[in-house]
């Protein structure tokens, strides 16, 4: 069953954002059309580049927070070890207070890494709305479909061919009103090449074969051009295209192109997460959430593959383009932050945070020591704790060895004589008769 998105979807937040993205997409479509390129898939790629550039400041902020974690992590790990196994309310509150103090010391907050992601969520949802239903938001694309609707004869809604097409896309029922132009366009946007052929071949719609644009090109052919990217219709799901091939309704090249979309979406996302992790501090395997993060880096690409099979191909193209752009951005950011002095970064971050604290009437925070010194002291502390633990284990082993040798000195270990001697020597050592 295809997901039906009827025209524009509202909402006080997502609605206006989607409208803005629609204007951007429309502008890109007009610009590429003037160059003689009539293709929504290309516009989606250009659209992705524009949006990723707009979101780049948030990406930088997120990377700065990750860089700070390389210094903060030893202190955070020490706090987690200190309160490990303590689940009483007082211990949990103390742990939270000490953790918050570490973040404040470095001029950041516990939400610093999550905030950019939270800001991006409504933006991404709005993007999906635009890409999923292009004609509703891109007026230049909608114009082609309006020409088709205007050419349909009166009473076309009750035509058998039209009704069959509506049923094929689950657009039937009391809530589906084909007297509305936008609703008809929603259906036309989802038609396959074969279904367009059925519509134009019907004796009830003879005008569609003669319908042309200002340039003299058939409107239906123009719609095919703008919807197809590398042979794949962006409005169809890869699963639909692949199943059509097995039903003898498509070529193997188109089916392979459709299959490549979810595969490339998964691979590019996996590589993007790998290069992102390469630029972040190594996490303690025993730290809370470390195992979950590792699993997520594997599961998310697999989920992308699964969803891309059932989402419109335009969404898959967007995911691939986004991952490729993020790979390029992340590579550049990794090289940049490798050259950045961490102490200077922390100092600037603290100065920025102190300006905000001053506005609230709070005293400034100070960086007690350099980042390298902090790391060195934490490592020395951990090494000393490890040395004490090893010394204790060595003493325990020495006591066990001494006791074993003492009790088995005059007899074969494990023999009856050794056991009798052990009892006798135990009594002698403890002053018993």
Residue 75 C-alpha from the chain's centroid: 28
Tell me which H or E stretch contains 394.
helix 371-407
Low-confidence ranges of the chain (pLDDT < 50): 1-5, 368-372, 375, 407
Helix or strand holding residue 239 (H, E): helix 238-246
Q: What is the enclosing helix (H) or strand (E) of 233?
A: strand 232-233
| β-pair partners for 229 | 232
User: Would you say residue 239 lies in a domain?
Assistant: no
User: Tell me, what's the pLDDT at 317?
Assistant: 93
Q: Please report whether residue 382 resides in a domain.
A: yes
Look at the chain and count its residues. Answer: 433
Helical pair 238-246 and 252-278, crossing angle rounded to 10 deg? 150
pLDDT of residue 155: 86
Q: Which runs of E-coded beta strand occur in 283-416?
A: none
CA-based end-to-end distance of the chain: 89
383: containing domain:
371-429
What is the model's pLDDT at position 172?
Answer: 82
How many alpha carbons lie under 13 Å from residue 96 in its C-beta half-sphere?
A: 7
pLDDT digits (tens, 9 = 90+) for 33-55: 888 888 999 999 999 998 888 88
- What region, left, alpha or beta, does residue 366 occupy, with left being phi > 0 and alpha being psi -120 to 50 degrees? beta
- The answer as to whether 195 is a domain residue is no
* Residue 220 near residue 211, CB atoms below 8 Å: yes
Quick check: is 405 in a domain?
A: yes
DSSP characters for 205-232?
A: -THHHH-B-TTS-BHHHHHHHHHEETTE
Total of domains in the chain: 1
DSSP secondary structure, 25-69, as one string:
HHHHHHHHHHTT---HHHHHHHHHHHHHHHTHHHHHHHHHHHHHH
For residue 109, being part of any structural domain is answered with no
Using DSSP, how many helices (H) and how many strands (E) does the chain show? Answer: 19, 2
Q: Give me the pLDDT at residue 4, please.
A: 44
In a domain, 403, yes or no: yes
Angle made by CA atoms 134, 41, 272, in degrees to the nearest 5: 110
**C-alpha to C-alpha distance for 353 and 345, rounded to whole angstroms:** 12
In-domain check, residue 272: no
**Domain presence at residue 282:** no
């Amino acid at each position: 069953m295809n997901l039906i998105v009827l025209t524009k979807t509202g909402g006080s937040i997502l609605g206006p954002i989607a409208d803005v993205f629609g204007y951007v997409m429309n502008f890109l479509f007009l610009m590429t059309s003037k160059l003689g390129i009539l293709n929504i898939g290309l516009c989606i790629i250009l659209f992705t580049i524009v949006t990723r550039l707009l979101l780049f400041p948030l990406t930088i902020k997120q990377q700065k927070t990750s860089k700070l974690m390389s210094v903060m992590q030893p202190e955070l790990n020490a706090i987690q070890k200190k309160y490990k196994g303590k689940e009483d309310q007082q211990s949990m509150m103390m742990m939270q207070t000490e953790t918050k103090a570490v973040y404040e010391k470095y001029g950041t907050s516990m939400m610093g890494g999550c905030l950019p992601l939270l800001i991006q969520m409504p933006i991404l949802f709005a993007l999906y709305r635009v890409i999923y239903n292009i004609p509703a938001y891109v007026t230049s694309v909608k114009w082609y479909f309006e020409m088709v609707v205007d050419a349909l004869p009166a009473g076309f809604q009750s035509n058998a061919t039209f009704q069959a097409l509506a049923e094929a896309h689950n657009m039937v029922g009391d809530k589906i009103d084909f007297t509305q132009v936008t609703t008809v366009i929603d259906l036309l946007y989802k038609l396959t090449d074969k279904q367009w052929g059925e519509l134009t071949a019907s004796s009830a719609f003879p005008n569609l074969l003669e319908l042309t644009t200002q340039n003299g090109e058939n409107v239906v052919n123009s719609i095919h051009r703008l919807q197809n990217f590398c042979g794949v219709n962006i409005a169809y799901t890869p699963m639909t295209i692949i199943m059509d091939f097995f039903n003898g309704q498509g070529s193997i090249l188109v089916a392979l192109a459709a299959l490549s979309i979810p595969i490339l979406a998964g691979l590019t996302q996996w590589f993007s997460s790998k290069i992102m992790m390469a630029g972040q501090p190594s996490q303690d395997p025993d730290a809370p959430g470390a195992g979950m993060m590792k699993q997520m880096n594997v599961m998310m690409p697999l989920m992308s593959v699964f969803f891309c099979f059932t989402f419109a191909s335009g969404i898959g193209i967007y995911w691939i383009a986004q991952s490729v752009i993020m790979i390029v951005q992340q590579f550049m950011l990794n090289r940049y932050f490798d050259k950045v002095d961490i102490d200077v970064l922390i100092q600037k971050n603290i100065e920025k945070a102190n300006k905000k604290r001053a506005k609230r009437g709070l005293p400034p925070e100070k960086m007690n020591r350099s980042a390298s010194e902090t790391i060195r002291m934490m490592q020395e502390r951990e090494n000393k704790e490890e040395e004490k633990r090893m010394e204790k284990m060595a003493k325990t082993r020495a006591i066990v060895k001494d006791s074993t040798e003492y009790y088995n000195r005059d007899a074969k270990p494990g023999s009856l004589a050794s056991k009798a001697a052990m009892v006798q020597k135990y009594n002698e050592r403890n002053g018993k008769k």
